[in-house]
Amino acid sequence: MKKNFKITIEYDGTPFSGWQIQNDRITVQGEIEKSLSRILNQKIKINGSGRTDAGVHALGQTANFHAETSISCSDLKRGINSIINGPVVIRKCEIVHPDFHARYDAVSKEYHYHILNRPDPCAVGKNYIWHIKKNLDIDAMNRCCSLITGIHDFKSFEGAGSPRAHTIREIFFSFVEKSDKDRIIFKIKANGFLRFMVRNIMGTLVSAGLLKISFDDFRRIMEAKNRNAAGMTAPPQGLFLTRVFYGP
């Protein structure tokens, strides 16, 4: 009997060329499909909730796939984790409704971006954080976060060369907070994200935190609906997909 499996995945994006399978490149999707095809002795294609770029990490990426098998979820999870190549771990495996689709049924996603804010870089963990030497004004960054919360056109934060049918998204929350003396986390949850959207917002928020742009400048950037108006694209290593949410 063919079953529809949903898996929740954690991975370190450092050695991968992103999530999506590509010819002659090592990707997260590619390694999971190879492991599943080997264990189940059949060609498996998985549907991810969305793509993550090269160097971006995940604590709660989700995917689904259909397979004709009698293997249990626990044995399948154990099998994948024992043979998969690279820093990828299946955290959960479950059988879902035959019509469930990890991408199309997702209602929202949450991302976290980590910053080390001190003069000295870190020797341990540099692949998971953006080092910014100068002091960031968190209050200034949060004032700008208030501008992106809600339903807005995020054309100014869309990656160049990746047009969508529309660029309107709803941000449920976005804020910056200290996690300890030297570390800052930007948290954002939305019903969907454009390509590079979180990293482009983060780069522009850092400009606000460094007092290079004002609250009104940030507002004008949003209203411009032009990627060239916004700040730099933050590097990928600080970004984590933390959770994908689904309806009842």
Q: What is the pLDDT of residues 13-40, one digit of tens each?
A: 999 999 999 989 999 999 999 999 999 9
The answer, yes or no, to whether residue 159 has pLDDT greater than 90, is: no
Residue extent(s) of CATH 3.30.70.580 domains in the chain: 2-96
Pick from 84, 209, 94: which is nearest to 145 by CA?
Answer: 209
CA distances from 9 to 26, 62, 80, 118, 193 (A): 16, 6, 11, 32, 19
> How many CA atoms within 13 Å lie on the side-chain side of 154?
29
Pick from 244, 154, 170: which is nearest to 204 by CA?
Answer: 154
The answer, yes or no, to whether residue 70 has pLDDT greater than 70, is: yes
Mean pLDDT, residues 171-190 = 96
The answer, yes or no, to whether residue 162 has pLDDT greater than 80, is: no
At residue 198, what are phi and psi to the nearest 5 degrees?
Answer: -65, -45
The answer, yes or no, to whether residue 163 has pLDDT greater than 80, is: no
108-246: in CATH 3.40.50.720: no
The Cα 200–Cα 220 span in angstroms is 15
246: its two tokens? 């689904």
CA distances from 116 to 15, 39, 130, 171, 214 (A): 21, 41, 6, 25, 22
Q: What is the pLDDT of residue 248?
A: 79
Percentage with pLDDT > 70 across the chain: 98
2-96: in CATH 3.40.50.300: no
- Residues with catalytic annotation? 53
The Cα 9–Cα 93 span in angstroms is 9
The answer, yes or no, to whether residue 205 has pLDDT greater than 90, is: yes
Give the global pTM.
0.95
Residue extent(s) of CATH 3.30.70.660 domains in the chain: 108-246
Residue 148 pLDDT grade (very low, low, confident, very high; cuts 50, 70, 90): very high
Strands (E), the chain: 2-11, 47-48, 57-68, 88-96, 106-117, 130-132, 150-153, 168-178, 183-190, 239-246
